[in-house]
Amino acid sequence: MEKKNENNTFQYTYSAAEQAELRRIREKYAGRAEKQESKLERLRRLDRGVTEKAQAVSLIFGILGALLLGLGMSLVMSELAAMLGLSHIPALVLGIALGILGGALVAAAYPMYQLVTRRARKKIAPEVLRLTDELMQ
């Protein structure tokens, strides 16, 4: 809505829905310094960041291990070695070694998850404790 003031200037007012839309658009373009994050949102983000990082590391270990295990099994059990130009015995030894390495990586995925989680929690513990103390008061 548009109103004309005494000084021959215009003043615009917007409805609540338009105000909400303006805020959403502004948040897209506002820098991080202008955007305020509540303490609870920060606490949730910190906690979520710990598990997301640990999940990414353990997924990398698990997927890489599964691929190596599969490659090792293929070398041992199929004609892949012949197609690669390897004789039977070296392909068998290489396949077994890759299978063992892949199995070890798959087995290490969960311990890596725990290790990364524990280290990340230790790193952010002072900030989390400070925020929880402030929120519980």
Answer yes or no: is 23 within a domain.
Answer: no
Answer yes or no: is 14 within a domain.
Answer: no
Answer yes or no: is 6 within a domain.
Answer: no
Q: What's the token pair of residue 76?
A: 């041992």
Beta-strand (E) ranges in the chain? 2-4, 10-12
Answer yes or no: is 95 within a domain.
Answer: yes
Q: What is the pTM of this model?
A: 0.64
Answer yes or no: is 57 within a domain.
Answer: yes
Answer yes or no: is 125 within a domain.
Answer: yes
- In whole angstroms, give the CA distance from residue 73 to residue 48: 37
Answer yes or no: is 11 within a domain.
Answer: no
- Count: domains in the chain: 1
- For 75-126, write each residue's pLDDT tens digit: 888 887 778 777 878 888 888 999 999 999 999 999 999 999 999 999 988 8
> What is the residue range of 66's domain?
38-136
- In 3D space, the residue among 114, 8, 123 whose CA is nearest the CA of residue 61 turns out to be 114
- For 51-78, write each residue's pLDDT tens digit: 999 999 999 999 999 999 999 998 888 8
